[in-house]
Structure 1
Amino acid sequence: MPIDVARALAAAPRTGEISWGVKDVLLYHLGIGAGRPATDPRELRYTLESRLHVLPSFATVAGGGPPGVIGALSLPGVDVDLARVLHGGQSLTVHRPLPAEGTATTTDRITAVHDRGDAAVLVMRTEAADADGPLWTGDARIHVRGEGGWGGDRGPSARREAPAREPDRIVERAVREDQALLYRLCGDFNPLHADPAFAARAGFERPILHGLCTYGMTLKAVVDTLLGGDVNRVRGCTTRFAGIVHPGETLRIRMWRGHGEVRVAVGAVERGDAPVLAGTTVEHT
Structure 2
Amino acid sequence: MPIDVAKLTSAPPVRTEVSWDDRDVRLYHLALGAGVPETDPEELRYVYERHPRGLKVLPLFGVTAANVGFQVFELPGVHVDLANALHGGQQVTVHRPLPPAAKASASTRVTDVYDKGKAAVIVQESTLVGEDGEPLLTQRNQIFVHGEGGFGGERGPADRLPAPDRAPDAVLDLPTLPQQALLYRLSGDWNPLHADPAVARAAGHDRPILHGLCTFGMVVKAVADRFLDGDTGAITGCRTRFAGAFHPGETLRISVWSDPAAGGYRLRATAPDRADAPVLEHALVTAGPSHGAPVD
**TM class, shorter-length:** over 0.9
**TM-score normalised per structure 2:** 0.92
54, 59, 72: which one aligns with 1:56: 59
Q: How far apart, in 2, do the equivalents of 1:116 and 1:189 lie?
A: 28
Task: Give the match for residue 31 of structure 1.
Answer: 31
- Encode CA deviations 1:5-30: one digit per residue, 9 max, x unaligned: 12111101111211100111011001
270, 275, 283: which one aligns with 2:273: 270
Q: How far apart, in 1, do the equivalents of 2:275 and 2:221 lie?
A: 23
Task: Give the match for residue 14 of structure 2.
Answer: 14
Q: How far apart, in 2, do the equivalents of 1:193 and 1:111 lie?
A: 28
Task: Give the match for residue 182 of structure 2.
Answer: 181
- Encode CA deviations 1:222-272: one digit per residue, 9 max, x unaligned: 000111111011000011111110111111101111212111111001111
User: Is the 1:91–1:238 contact (alpha carbons within 8 Å) kept by the matching residues of 2?
Assistant: yes
- CA shift for structure 1 position 75: 2.1
User: Is the 1:91–1:237 contact (alpha carbons within 8 Å) kept by the matching residues of 2?
Assistant: yes
Seq. identity, %: 54
Secondary structure (helix, strand or coil) at the match of 1:7 reads: helix
- Which amino acid is the alignment partner of residue 92 of structure 1? V
Gaps of 5+ in 2: 289-296
Matched residue pairs, number? 282
The CA RMSD measured in Å over matched residues stands at 1.2
- Which amino acid is the alignment partner of residue 220 of structure 1? K
- CA shift for structure 1 position 194: 1.1
- Which amino acid is the alignment partner of residue 234 of structure 1? I
Q: How far apart, in 2, do the equivalents of 1:82 and 1:189 lie?
A: 14
Task: Give the match for residue 151 of structure 1.
Answer: 152
- CA shift for structure 1 position 200: 2.2
User: Is the 1:169–1:255 contact (alpha carbons within 8 Å) kept by the matching residues of 2?
Assistant: yes
Aligned pairs for 1:124-273 (under 5 A) are 124-132=124-132, 133-259=134-260, 260-273=263-276
- Encode CA deviations 1:87-116: one digit per residue, 9 max, x unaligned: 100000111110000011210001111111
1:284 and 2:281 aligned:
no
**TM-score normalised per structure 1:** 0.96
Q: How far apart, in 2, do the equivalents of 1:75 and 1:54 lie?
A: 31
